[in-house]
Structure 1
Amino acid sequence: MGVSNGLVLYNHNLQLPVEITSFTASQTGSTLQLKWSTATETNNHGFEIERSTDNNPFYSIGFVKGAGSTQEPQEYIYTDSPDKPGTYHYRLKQTDLDGSYKYSDVVTSEFTGNIQEYILEQNFPNPFNPTTRIKFSIPQQNGNKPQLVTLTVYDILGNEIAVLVNEEKPSGTYEVDFTANNASLSAGVYVYRLRAGAFSETKTMILLK
C-alpha cells in the first residue's frame, strides 16, 4: 500500500515547521479514508485536500482546519467518496496563516467500490528480506458492522510467529507489513492466515537471508 515519514513542510519565515509524520489513504467500506498526523505546527491555517486520477491534474476536494501553533501531536481524518472504482492519488496543501503553502508527498489508493467478497492477496515482495506487505479485503456485512479480523503468521510447523491484525474492522481493503527482524527466524517458507467471521484462508511466503 503510501506513507510520508518525517516529511517537513517549512514556513517561509523560518519558524518551526509543520511536521507531517504520517499520511495514508485506504478504502473503508464504500469510501476512501485519508489519515495524517503532525508532530508540531506553527501558524498552520489548515490542509486543503487535493485529488487526481488517471494522470489528470490535482484539484481540491475539501479542507480541514489546522491547529494553529502547537507542540502537541495532532491527528486528522478526511473521508472521500469516489463515484467509481479506480486508482486515486491524494496530496495535502498545507497553508500557513499568512497564505504561504507547501505540498505533501502524494499517496495512492485503489478504490474497488463495494467489496463483495473476502480477499487475501499474495504478499509482495515474495521472496522477501526482511519486510513484505500483505493486502486483504473485508466485504460489507450486516450494514457494515465491524467484524473481528485476525491475520497471523506461522512457521511451516504451525508455530505462531506474529499476530499482525487482531481487531474489529469494517468493510475495506487493508495493508499490513511483516518484518522478519527476529534473529531466530531462519530462511524458509512461512504461512499467513486471514480469519474473519466464517472465512479463513492461508497463503505461503518465502523469507530469504
Structure 2
Amino acid sequence: MKNIILIVSLVLFSLGLSAQPMDQNFDVSGNYVIPAGYTATITVEAWGGGGQSKGGGGGYTTNTYDNVPAGSYAIVVGAGGSPGVAGSPSSYTFPAGTVTAGGGAAGTNGTAAGGTISLVEAGPGSKAGGRGGSGLNNGGGGGGGGAGPASTDGGTPTTTTGGAGGAPNGGMGGTETTTGPQNGANGTNYGGGGGGRSKSGTTSGSGAPGRVVVTVVSVLPVELLSFTGKPTTGAVLLTWETGTEFNNEKFIIERSTDGRAFSAIGEERGVGTTQEKQSYHFADKNPVRGVNYYRLQQLDYDGQFEYSKVEAVVFDQQGTAIFFPTATASLLHIRSQENSPATVQVYNLNGALLQQQSFAAANSLEIDLSQLPNGVYLVAVQTGGQRYQERVLKF
C-alpha cells in the first residue's frame, strides 16, 4: 500500500479491476485519472513555459495531496515563448483547488520577469522562475532565466560574451565575436527562458515548454465504507463494509481498554481483489464491562497495512446470545455461550409464527430466511430457560 511508484502503462487486474493510479508525465494538456475504486496520495509538479529572448524562466510549483478520490483532474501544460511571446502557464486542478506555475515573460530592454506561482495554493518547495539577464547594446545577449525548485536568474553579458543561462535550464545569450555564436540559445526542458541574441545575431532563443508530472506516493487498496460496534446480548458485535479491495489478505481485529494499548482478539479473511461491496462481522464474546475500544488492522499480502479509525463501545449487559447480520438476504447467525438445546422461532410483526427450528446446542446457530418475503421479522431464541430476540431485516 505504501510508496507505490509506477511507470506509465496500462495495468489490468483479474476480476475486471481497473488499472490502479499510476505515475504520469504531461507534455501536453490532458486529464489525470484515478480509477473508480481507488484513493491515492500523489505529488504533483508543474513547470510554466519559458519566455523568449532574455526571457524569464517558468514558475515551478509542487503539492502533495492525501487520499485523492477517484475522478478525472484537469492538467494544463504551458507552451514555451516564441519570438516576442511570453511563456504560457501550466496548472493542475485537484479537490483542494487549482495551482498555477506562471509562464516566463518575454525579453525587453530590461530583465524579463520569471513565471509567478500561486502563493497561497502552491506547496513547500515551489519557486518563481528566474529572471532573464539584461543585454548590452554593443555586446552579448542576456541569458534566459531558469525554472525549477532551485532556479536562478539569467546572467548579464560582457561586451563580447553572452550572459550565462540561469540554472538549471535557461538558454545562453549570443556572443558578439567573429567566430562565436551570435544567436541566443533556446531554453531547455522544462520551462527555461531563451537567451537573447547578440548585437550581430539574428535570432533569439525560444522559451522551453512547461511540463506537469504526477507521482503516486501510495494507493489505498481497501476502501473502508464503515466500521461500527454495538453491544448485544453477552457480546459486542463489530460490523464493517468495504467498497473495493486490492491485495487484501485479512483484517485483524484489535481491542483496547484505554484507547492506547491494543491487542489482537481475532481476524477475518479478506477477499483479495474485488470492486464489489463486501460486508464483515465479528463478535467479541469477552468484552470488558465499561468502555471497549476497537480498531481494524487491514493487512495486504505484501505485508503492508493500514489502521481504521477507533470505535468505542460501552458494554454493560449480561447475556448469552447475539444475532448477525441483522440485515440479510438469506442466512442469520446466532452465537451463544449456552450449550443447552435451543429453539429458534421467526415471527412477523403481527405476531404470527412463520418458521421454527430446533437445535441440539445453542452456541452456534444458523437459520435460513431466504424463503421469507422481504420485510422485518422478530427472531427469538429459547435456550437454557432464557429467551432472547432481535429484529431482523430480510431483503
- What TM-score results when the alignment is normalised by the length of structure 2? 0.28
**1:35 — aligned with what?**
239
User: 1:35-73, CA deviations, whole angstroms, 9 ceiling, x for partnerless residues?
Assistant: 001000000011010000134501111111101000000
**Does 2:261 match 1:57?**
yes
Identity, % of aligned pairs?
Answer: 37
Indicate if the aligned counterparts of 2:40 and 2:218 stay in contact, CA closer than 8 A: no
**4+ residue stretches of structure 1 with deviation over 3 A?**
8-16, 143-150, 169-174
Indicate if the aligned counterparts of 1:51 and 1:61 stay in contact, CA closer than 8 A: yes
**2:308 — aligned with what?**
104
Q: Which has the higher contact order (CA 8 A, sep 6+)?
A: 1
Tell me how far 1:114 sits from its aligned partner. 1.2
**Does 2:372 match 1:168?**
no
Q: Match for 2:226: what amino acid?
A: S
Q: Which structure 1 segments of 5+ residues have no match?
A: 1-7, 116-142, 151-165, 175-209
Question: Using the alignment, how far apart are the partners of 1:40 and 1:114 within structure 2?
Answer: 37
Question: Using the alignment, how far apart are the partners of 2:287 and 2:224 within structure 1?
Answer: 29
Aligned residues: 128
Decide whether aligned partners of structure 1 residues 55 and 21 sit closer, same or farther in structure 2, where only a CA change above 3 A counts. Answer: closer
Give 1:79's match in structure 2, choosing from 283, 291, 314: 283
Indicate if the aligned counterparts of 1:9 and 1:19 stay in contact, CA closer than 8 A: no
The RMSD of aligned alpha carbons is: 3.5
Question: Using the alignment, how far apart are the partners of 2:251 and 2:40 within structure 1?
Answer: 12
Tell me how far 1:167 sits from its aligned partner. 4.7
Tell me how far 1:95 sits from its aligned partner. 0.7
**1:23 — aligned with what?**
227
Question: Using the alignment, how far apart are the partners of 1:111 and 1:48 within structure 2?
Answer: 21
Q: Match for 2:264: what amino acid?
A: S
Tell me how far 1:144 sits from its aligned partner. 9.8
Could you say what secondary structure the match of 2:223 adopts? strand
Tell me how far 1:28 sits from its aligned partner. 1.7
- What TM-score results when the alignment is normalised by the length of structure 1? 0.50
Question: Using the alignment, how far apart are the partners of 1:112 and 1:40 within structure 2?
Answer: 35
Structure with the larger strand share: 1
Indicate if the aligned counterparts of 2:221 and 2:247 stay in contact, CA closer than 8 A: no
Give 1:70's match in structure 2, choosing from 274, 280, 292: 274
Tell me how far 1:9 sits from its aligned partner. 9.1
1:99-178 mapped onto 2 (5 Å cutoff): 99-114=303-318, 167-168=377-378
Could you say what secondary structure the match of 1:18 adopts? coil
Decide whether aligned partners of structure 1 residues 16 and 110 sit closer, same or farther in structure 2, where only a CA change above 3 A counts. Answer: closer
Q: Match for 2:278: what amino acid?
A: Q
Q: Match for 2:271: what amino acid?
A: A
Decide whether aligned partners of structure 1 residues 33 and 112 sit closer, same or farther in structure 2, where only a CA change above 3 A counts. Answer: same
Decide whether aligned partners of structure 1 residues 56 and 105 sit closer, same or farther in structure 2, where only a CA change above 3 A counts. Answer: closer
Q: Match for 1:101: what amino acid?
A: F
Tell me how far 1:16 sits from its aligned partner. 5.7
Question: Using the alignment, how far apart are the partners of 1:36 and 1:19 within structure 2?
Answer: 11
Give 2:252's match in structure 1, choosing from 48, 65, 71: 48
**2:296 — aligned with what?**
92
Decide whether aligned partners of structure 1 residues 9 and 15 sit closer, same or farther in structure 2, where only a CA change above 3 A counts. Answer: closer
- Higher Rg of the two aligned structures: 2
Decide whether aligned partners of structure 1 residues 13 and 110 sit closer, same or farther in structure 2, where only a CA change above 3 A counts. Answer: same
Tell me how far 1:15 sits from its aligned partner. 4.6
Indicate if the aligned counterparts of 1:35 and 1:77 stay in contact, CA closer than 8 A: yes
Q: Which structure 2 segments of 5+ residues have no match?
A: 1-38, 42-66, 68-215, 320-341, 350-375, 381-387
Decide whether aligned partners of structure 1 residues 65 and 114 sit closer, same or farther in structure 2, where only a CA change above 3 A counts. Answer: same
Tell me how far 1:81 sits from its aligned partner. 1.3
